[in-house]
Amino acid sequence: MGDNMPYFFPEAFAERMKMLLGEAFSAFTSSYSEDSPVSVRLHPLKWKGGLPGDRIPWCSQGYYLGQRPLFTADPWLHGGAYYVQEPSSMFLEQLCRVVWPEKPALVLDLCGAPGGKTTHLMSLLQPGDLLVANEVIRSRARILQENVTKWGIPGVVVTSGDPAAFASLGEIFDLIVVDAPCSGEGLFRKEPRAAEEWSPDHTRLCASRQKRILSEAWKCLKPGGALVYSTCTFNPDENEENLEWLAQTAGASFLEVVPDPDWGIETSVHGKVTGYRFYPHRLRGEGFFAAVVRKEGHGTAPLTSKGSPRNWSPATRREITTLEPWILPGLAGEFLSDGEITTLFPGGGRPLLALLEKRMPLLQVGIPVASATGAHFIPHPALALSTALHRERFPVAPLSPEEAIRFLRKDPLLLPGREKGWILATFRNLPLGWLKNLGNRTNNYFPQEYRIRMTIPHPPPIWHDPLTRSTME
């Protein structure tokens, strides 16, 4: 390899990229001497600050930052005010705008962890829409669940099922997103370790696995429905070739997005396939590929399921009477209970639950509101982080930056002079979780599994504070 070649480029990868890019290969390799861009996607209902940087042109809530801050030190990250996400991946918004159904949609994010595209989809949901966020690997599914909780928008079910389990549901989804596990070639600059693990055999294994995922996903897509396919790799075998196979075997047709020419996104036409390629020498982002396909035909009848969910039944009158004031008035939904947790889920969603629970674990349904202990209800951490919370129903404890970090570490806090009972802990008007003031002490109900474990500088450097931002720019 030439002297200007990044040290972590495997030789076989470099040779293929030379063939793929031609004269642009030199510019491609030069881009790897530059730092990866740092970017965030804001929560449209939670972000209370100013514009944090230059906007990512293909995402309405996406912004570049000048440098990478210590995100862990920011309470707003833990409260779900934004998601740290690679810029190219935010192109999902443009793809969904082309295909999002006008009627209430049933959406599936099949390979959802850690949650970037799931939370993006949650921001795009319209009244009546339902989203199933899935991850087959249970440990990663828990991470997905945490990020869904922090984003806090109702109408989402988190599952941990194999693609084959979804195939057995029949043609029920209007839109499916498959962000497929891949060889990770597009992340070599951001994660050089991905290059160390790369091999031609691994790319072939990935391509085979992706075909299986696509095949199973296609079986649960409605006629007339759309599937968004994406990877973070450059390899045509994992991208265009897989989609060409889907077109030949299943009759998939391709939809055009027409990106703005100034964005630097390359439109790839390969046989019947129209896809979109992101190269780091052409735009501020990592390597990425995406395409949208349509299933021929017309949508089937609305989702129905025989019987009701075994594990989720309508809440009791006592539960409804107690918990309904905790929810914003006018919010459509019903209270369901599994005997331990009472949750808020959009009305009419029980047929979906009945269908899903027969085939896979349901890790979270809607917005968990409370658990019962004797005659009392304990508000759930997910309720504090939810956009459904009726904040005026609870006393509020505004925390300083130092107090917020202590809360997020699950350390004890003292609230002298405050009324006894449940108190909503906030940081700069953003809810973080619950405190229970007992008078002589205060119990911290921040979830153990979410707590900050690393050492945080004092005072905590919060990147969107005007003073901190001035030192970063």
**Rg from Cα positions in the chain:** 23
Q: Please, are residues 253 and 273 in contact by the beta-carbon 8 Å criterion?
A: no
Q: Bin 309: left if φ > 0, else alpha if -120 < ψ < 50, else beta.
A: beta
What is the token pair recorded at 314?
Answer: 């309508």
Token pair belonging to 187: 């992340």
* 232 among known catalytic residues: yes
The residues near 356 (Cβ < 8 Å, ≥ 6 apart) are 132, 157, 159, 161, 169, 362
Six-digit token pair at 153? 């928008």
Catalytic residue among 59, 111, 182, 232: 232
Structure tokens at 373: 């202990």
Spatial separation of the C-alpha atoms in residues 179 and 110, rounded to whole Å: 8
Burial bucket for residue 260 (CB in 10 Å: 0-12, 13-18, 19+): exposed
d(CA 379, CA 443): 13
The two structure tokens encoding residue 185:
């070639």
What are the residue numbers of the active site? Answer: 232
